[in-house]
Chain A
Amino acid sequence: MGAPRAPLEPPTPEQSAFLERAMSQYGKATYNFAFRLTNNEADARDLTQDAFIRVYRAWRSFEPGTSFLSWIYRIVTNLYRDELRRRKGRFHEEIPEDNAPQAFRGERPLATNPIDDYVDRQIGEPLSRALADLSPDQRQVVILADIEEYSYQEIAEIMGCSIGTVRSRLHRARALLRRLVERAQQQQQR
């Protein structure tokens, strides 16, 4: 992603070992989470890379005994949100809390690679299609609640918002998803 980066310090042996273990154990989960968020191969790569660089920088702030996955999902969430803000400049205004669910069909992907996009849509078409119609925040809460199976409390901590916000985003996302499913079923019946 295009965020400015402060220079890195060379690693200590402990720091290298920590990062290596983190990438081997959680690299796949982190990449899949990033891919579901962005629905785009190139952005998922950048997001995963930036997240692990942030893990490298802040490895001492990780508290042993807590969930590493929750920690790195929070990092990915923040990086994704920062990037959306940077590119669009008005991320929050796009998701009015009190309005009815909205479809974001016109949302421009963060990076476009036609071949990657084509392959991705062939592989994960049902999920991509279902999630693509949600706003970034709604998509994220559905991924965390339904795919990653986090509790509302955990999702609130990862996303940095209240449980009430998680609840309302999930309610709207689920209502929209069900409408999409019903519409797909009607189209199949015709």
Chain B
Amino acid sequence: MIEHLSNDLIVDFVHGELEPAADARAHAHLVTCATCTSEVNAERTLREFLRDAAVASEREMPSGINAAIWEQIRAAKPGPFAALTSLFKPMIAIPVAAVLLAGGYFATAATHHESPSIAASYYLQAHAVQSSQGPLSERTGAIRAAVAEAYDGGYPATAAYGAAR
């Protein structure tokens, strides 16, 4: 008695889903068995019918679907988290950071009213000393002479400096 291929095995064979060994056995059987060959052909015909019918009935996607999808997307509004994160985008973050820095600077300046730690007279004295000690100063000799004369006459150094100018 001939052992025929089962219907399930024929379905798997037609779909190319048999393991290599089983596929080889099926091929070998089909060479000698007209009944199973007929079954395989019937399955193949059915598959071709399904495919041909699908191709024949294929249709374009209605354009309304495309429009409806974009309409739904255009109507989207950012959620609360997205609104928060948008603050960190550069276009917004840079001006915000500038305002915060300026505010911080002026707030600090308004709360600190310290007087200058160096009096203006210090700069005058320092300038006089530097001018008098400079090797290329044309007035160096005159200043020294004036200072010496002032000390000799009992005047303070500042008065002597003023006289030298």
Contact = CB atoms under 8 A, between A and B. Distances in A.
Interface stretch (A30-38, A65-73, A89-97): A30-38
Contact of B11 (A8, A48, A174): A174
A158 interface: no
Interface in A116-175: 123-124, 126-128, 130, 142-143, 145-147, 149, 151-152, 167, 170-171, 174-175
* Chain B: number of interface residues, binned into ranges: 35 or more
Contacts, number: 109
Given A28-B61, A124-B53, A130-B50, A49 B11 contact: no
B62 interface: yes
Interface residues of A, number: 43
Given A49-B65, A178-B46, A28 B11 contact: no
Contact of B61 (A48, A149, A167): A48
Contact of A9 (B16, B61, B76): B76
Nearest to B43: A174
Interface string B43-72: 100110111011011111110111011001
Given A8-B73, A181-B49, 13 more contacts: A7-B77, A8-B72, A9-B78, A10-B77, A23-B61, A45-B65, A52-B65, A56-B73, A126-B49, A145-B15, A167-B12, A170-B11, A175-B7
Interface of B: 7-8, 11-12, 15-17, 42-43, 46-47, 49-51, 53-54, 56-62, 64-66, 68-69, 72-73, 75-79, 82
